[in-house]
Chains A and B, each alone.
Chain A
């Protein structure tokens, strides 16, 4: 068996400790060791962003980090969004504005958007497009993802937001 080292990370507020091979990627650690399969793998080359998580609040592609590099850090994955089954604004935005189809890019898209809104509560469309440009989506053409982020921004700022796609909510 290959040499292993100890990794201690906090994921969604819960501390985890495990022994892993030094070469194990953070995304495999999350998916295979912690069974948090909401973080996805869509490429081998750090292009697609399906594996995006927040490391100390900063979006990182978890296929570009070794698990050992996350040692001592505070991670947020899609499983950490919302509360007691309820949706937080970014999740509600994606649902209301039809910002997802197959759902594969969605966790990464929501996390990178959450990080954007933490820094910039009222981003322009161009700022949103720039912020999500490290994350690929093959289904939506991004237009409704932009609206989803705008919905969440408004909800966070004002406490309410109205859906605009498909003739409004139904």
Chain B
């Protein structure tokens, strides 16, 4: 029997074209707003125009007279049902519809349900709300001041302080700082931004009055977790709730939390006995759902004169808006922010974070990020550049001098993580070579001589993804395992269902590739399904780059369980002892006589037609995988910019990205993820900003003000990889979706600052818009 080759079946490492494309390029994707059910009605939300105001009254009489309006729901109605508040994922609660007062502009105040989306909008416009304005708190530092009004009247604590959290050894870190030659400090703000997937949030809640079952089509990155939360909050039995997350038009963390629109749609469907659709408008999406970041960071590095970094000290204030709706594992109030020692071998480190309430939208969610890792990575990579500037050292040389050496893995950081594997210098050397670093330095020197502004920015990030070990990581108490169920049909075709949910990552293809590799069955013969809680095994969902590290591992292990049973059947078919068989070249082969073999397809047929005595029929398995550790992808990004002195505009001339995400399942998909993540990093560094004026009015609440890069300004990227497998993952994969967004903002910013550094500029906060650069140039007296 001839050997099957990996490329024949589309196994690991092959750029298999995506199965899901077939429907998307024909306009046959099925997103939530495409769902149309018999008798469906539409829901529109009434939102607060004020950032902080007491609700004096809501008059729904005019709205009820609008033709087609069926119902108006207010916070009072929900209060009677015990649903006026819902728990967040961070030990807090959030108003579903406002009662008492509103706490941010755009907050949900009432819902109007009508026969058409137009009638619903007309009805919402006719709801009259009487507000009494209250003093507004926008700055989180001011929120913690003695004179600040207490925003949250529902809490026992009469302050705007949410939590204090720390990691590392404070005393030892202080001692190292005291004993070090050089200390640099840098304040920086990682601005409030928003994931803004192109599809806004939406749901169709469908209460089946006969079977008393609630089906919710929902833009959800975590359908099972949402089902359980609905059961806990609404009191519906969990087997009578079905969440279907169909095609999702991008998530990036935005679709992890439960939002008021979902809850009130379910309430409306229960009330009316009809399906209710809610489709968020872009303004509602940007103004009220999961913002990210808003971290106000103070970083200090201690080093020796010759550039050995000894310790890191960080103090940070996080602005969570009106409710702490951070979507992250419950034991980590600041997420995995303590990954901020990065790629460096430090003696000591200490981090403290406080959280504050303000009159802004609630959050903050992990935007293409494994829980505050983007903030951490930006902080360390920015501050290392500040240190390089202080020491007069080359930033690449300073990084290389301080990298954790490859032979030190597994490496325990002073902030408590155990890195699985890494070769940081390897990735950096490749990036330096690709970008032509030495030549660029020469060019830069010449240009500086002529007064031209050219900058080179490096970021050598280490990420932490794949949450996570169940004992460490849970969402609302549910441990963060993930799952796969594999079933092989008699004719050797496969149906697999996974606990994670794709929003464009291509799981239907890449998870089929894992199975193809493990089972020796062509990728075209494998169907992967997800997103329907009535059929898929329980999983925690797709975010924090956890699909491949956790559900990918479950998929490989489930396939291996199938293979273990299949080996018994193969032995029966070949009339040999099971121990005489080995799985090689995608078949069970007799040791020493590899031509005597049975494929998985042979075995599958026998599993239903000719099972050995004592073995049950069928060929399927399920695995719930609890990872023993996180995975730690890494890489080096190098950005080259030129700045126009007249306008302050900066353009990316070249961008090199070398990623190491361990074993690569599909190089094409990985490259696509990197392009996309780099572009979001570029957007954050240059334009994406959710801001508020003093009155709490949002100034980034639509796509005319919240800027998304187009194809014209988006740079071209050159990508490559090194491969350092994760030692604890069944196929050695680490996850990649977020690395480029985590690692790249520092590269863009470092490049701009490098260009300006001859003029004494050491830092500019993101987004670095042209006017900020222009002002820096003006202040330096070098305007054209």
Among residues 5 to 31 in chain B, which have CB atoms less than 8 Å away from a CB atom of chain A? 7, 10, 14-18, 20-31
For residue B3, CB closer than 8 A to chain A, the reply is no
Annotate B643-655 by CB proximity to A: 1 below 8 A, 0 otherwise. Answer: 0000000000000
The answer, among A2, A142, A168, for a CB contact under 8 Å with B15, is A168
> How near does chain B come to A24, taking the closest CB pair, in angstroms?
8
- Asked whether A98 lies within 8 Å of B708 as measured between CB atoms, the reply is no
B503 within 8 A of A: yes
Given that A41-B33, A137-B198, A166-B667 are contacting pairs, would A101 and B676 also be in contact in the complex, using a CB cutoff of 8 Å?
Answer: yes
B711 to A104, Cβ gap below 8 A?
no
CB distance from A107 to the nearest CB of B (A): 5
Among A32, A101, A141, A145: residue with most chain B CB under 10 A: A141
A57 located at the interface, meaning its Cβ lies under 8 Å from any Cβ of chain B in the complex? no
Decide yes or no whether A140 CB sits under 8 A from chain B: yes
Contact size range, B? 35 or more
For the complex, is B702 an interface residue (Cβ under 8 Å from A)? yes
Say whether, besides A95-B18, A143-B675, A102 and B199 are in contact (CB < 8 Å): yes
Evaluate contact between A102 and B669: CB separation under 8 angstroms. no
Q: CA A21 – CA B36 in complex, angstroms?
A: 20
**B174 on the A face (CB < 8 A):** no
Q: Are B675 and A144 in contact (CB under 8 A)?
A: yes
The answer, yes or no, to whether A19 is at the interface (CB within 8 Å) is no
Rounded to whole Å, the gap between the CB of B221 and the closest CB of chain A is 12
What B residues does A141 contact at CB under 8 A? 675-679, 714, 717
A52 to chain B, nearest CB (A): 12
Once A138-B198, A165-B15, A165-B671 are accepted as A-B contacts, the answer to whether A91 and B676 lie under 8 Å apart by CB is: no
Chain A residue numbers with a CB within 8 Å of B165 are: none
Chain B residues with CB under 8 A of A103: 20-21, 23-25, 29, 247, 249, 504
In the assembled complex, the Cα of A98 lies from the Cα of B671 at a distance in Å of 10
Residue B252 at the chain A interface, CB threshold 8 Å? yes
Q: A1 within 8 Å of B by Cβ?
A: yes
B710 contacts A by Cβ under 8 Å: yes
Q: Scoring A residues 1 to 37 as 1 if CB is less than 8 Å from chain B, else 0, what string do you get?
A: 1100000000000000000010110001001100111
Contact status B17-A38, CB under 8 Å: no
Cβ-based interface call for A170 (8 A): yes
For the complex, is B466 an interface residue (Cβ under 8 Å from A)? no
Query: Is residue A77 within 8 Å, beta carbon to beta carbon, of the partner chain?
Result: yes
**1/0 contact trace for B193-214 toward A, CB 8 Å?**
0001111100000000000000
Q: Assess the A138–B680 pair: CB atoms within 8 A.
A: yes
Stretch in contact with the other chain, from A67-75, A126-134, A154-162: A126-134
Is there an interface contact between A91 and B249, defined as CB atoms closer than 8 Å? no
Asked if B82 is an interface residue, CB under 8 A from chain A, the answer is no
A64 CB to closest chain B CB (Å) equals 13
CA A165 to CA B729, docked complex, whole Å = 27
Across the interface, do A45 and B711 meet the contact criterion of CB distance under 8 Å?
no
Check if B26 sits within 8 Å of A40, measured CB to CB.
no
Contacts of B198 in A (CB 8 A): 40, 42, 48, 50, 102, 104-105, 136-138
CB distance from A63 to the nearest CB of B (A): 11
**How far does the Cβ of B182 sit from chain A's closest Cβ, in whole Å?**
38
For residue B409, CB closer than 8 A to chain A, the reply is no
Smallest CB separation, A148 vs chain B (Å): 10
Residues of B within 8 Å of A139, CB to CB, are 250, 504, 672, 676
On whether the beta carbons of B504 and A101 are closer than 8 Å, the reply is: yes
Supposing A39-B27, A45-B703, A48-B703 touch, asked if A167 and B15 sit within 8 A by C-beta, the answer is: yes
State the majority secondary structure of interface residues on B: loop
Interface: A44 (CB within 8 A): yes
Determine the distance from Cα of A146 to Cα of B716 in the docked complex, in whole angstroms: 10
Name B17's contact: one of A37, A129, A135, A170 (CB within 8 Å): A170
**How many Å lie between the Cα of A106 and that of B27 in the bound state?**
8
CA distance A92 to B197 in the complex (A): 25
* CB within 8 Å: A-B pair count: 205
Q: How far is the CA of A77 from the CA of B28 in the complex (A)?
A: 12
In the complex, how many angstroms separate the beta carbon of A81 from the nearest chain B beta carbon?
7
Say yes or no for B724: interface residue by CB 8 A criterion. no
**CB of B393 to closest CB in A, whole Å:** 32
Is B283 an interface residue when CB atoms closer than 8 A count as contact? yes
Asked if residues B31 and A100 are in contact (CB atoms below 8 Å), the reply is: no
Provide the residues of chain B in CB contact with A45, threshold 8 Å. 282, 702-704
CB distance from B772 to the nearest CB of A (A): 23
Assuming A47-B703, A141-B679, is B668 touching A98 (CB within 8 A)?
A: yes
**Within the assembled complex, what's the spacing in Å between the Cα atoms of A48 and B286?**
14
**Contact between chains at B708 and A78 (CB < 8 Å):** no
> Is B712 located at the chain interface by the 8 A CB criterion?
yes
Instruction: Knowing A95-B21, A140-B672, say if A40 contacts B249 (CB, 8 Å).
Output: yes
Asked if B283 and A44 make an inter-chain contact with CB atoms under 8 angstroms apart, the answer reads yes
**Of all chain A residues, which has the CB nearest B506?**
A101
- B759 near A: Cβ within 8 Å? no
- Residue A54 is within 8 A (CB to CB) of chain B in the complex: no
By a CB distance below 8 angstroms, the chain A residues around B22 are 95
Q: For A37, list chain B residues within 8 Å (CB).
A: 27, 30-31, 33-34
User: How far, in whole Å, are A18 and B20 apart by their CA atoms in the complex?
Assistant: 33
Bound-complex Cα distance A81 to B673 (A): 27
Within 8 A of A (CB), among B24-58: 24-31, 33-34, 36
Closest to A148 in B: B25
Q: Does B17 lie within 8 Å of A96, measured CB to CB?
A: yes
Report Cα–Cα, A142/B708, bound state, in Å: 12
| Chain B 236-275 per-residue mask, 1 if CB under 8 angstroms from chain A, else 0 | 0000000000011110100000000000000000000000
A50 to B27, CA, bound (A): 12
Contact surface of B with A, Cβ cutoff 8 Å: 7, 10, 14-18, 20-31, 33-34, 36, 67, 117-118, 196-200, 247-250, 252, 279, 281-283, 503-506, 666-669, 671-673, 675-680, 702-704, 708, 710-712, 714, 716-717
Q: Can you name 22 A-B residue pairings with CB atoms under 8 Å?
A: A2-B67, A38-B28, A39-B27, A40-B199, A42-B198, A44-B702, A45-B703, A82-B26, A85-B26, A87-B26, A96-B17, A101-B506, A102-B249, A103-B20, A105-B198, A106-B24, A133-B711, A136-B703, A138-B250, A138-B680, A141-B676, A170-B668
Q: 6 nearest interchain CB pairs?
A: A38-B27, A166-B668, A102-B504, A166-B15, A103-B24, A104-B249
Inter-chain pairs besides A138-B708, A142-B675, A166-B15, 14 sampled, C-beta below 8 Å: A37-B30, A37-B31, A42-B249, A48-B198, A85-B26, A101-B506, A102-B199, A102-B247, A102-B249, A139-B250, A139-B672, A140-B672, A141-B676, A170-B17
